[in-house]
Amino acid sequence: MTSLPRLVVLLALTFLMAGCLTTSEVLVDRPWKLVEVVGAPPVDPEGIGGVSFGTDGRFQVNTGCRGGGGTYHLDGNRVILDTEILQPGPCDEAMAAQDAILLGVVEGRPRFEIDTRTGRLRLTSEAGQVLLFDSP
């Protein structure tokens, strides 16, 4: 068996066993809209919250209370924000609580996975908090 067919079989088995992709090619260059915050729908069902990661090493984030961006890099299946600039905006109590969770996960070296069944991005903090995003 040549090495290319072996690689294809290995990748297929890996995806079937894991159920999730962790390739940066799927993560970058698309907008991700917040659809779930630690098991609950976002405070704003219209989906103000979101994040995007560019191929140029820059990210953009909107928490509903703050917006901005900076630079990032990937370390295996973790996203590390290197620098960030966030501009505060008006925020009620419910949005402020969501803002704190969202920033806590995004700033905390989260693991990322793309679910092969739903196409959703899952960011998981080291404490196990999960954010789910759809790409429209």
Tell me the per-residue pLDDT of 24-82, one tens digit each, with 9 for 90 and over: 678 898 999 999 999 999 987 665 789 999 999 999 988 888 888 999 999 988 999 88
User: Distance between CA 98 and CA 40 in Å, rounded?
Assistant: 10
Residue 46: per-residue pLDDT: 65
Residue 106: per-residue pLDDT: 86
User: Distance between CA 118 and CA 65 in Å, rounded?
Assistant: 27
Residue 24: per-residue pLDDT: 67
Would you tell me which CATH number, out of the four given (1.10.510.10, 2.40.128.270, 1.10.1740.10, 2.60.40.10), belongs to the domain 21-134? 2.40.128.270
Domains in the chain: boundaries: 21-134
Question: Could you count the other beta carbons within 10 Å of the beta carbon of residue 69?
Answer: 20
Nearest to 24 by CA among 53, 62, 51: 53
| Alpha helices (H) in the chain, listed in sequence order | 3-18, 24-27, 93-106
Average pLDDT, rounded, for the chain: 81
Classify residue 61 as exposed, middle or buried by CB count within 10 Å of its CB (0-12, 13-18, 19+): buried
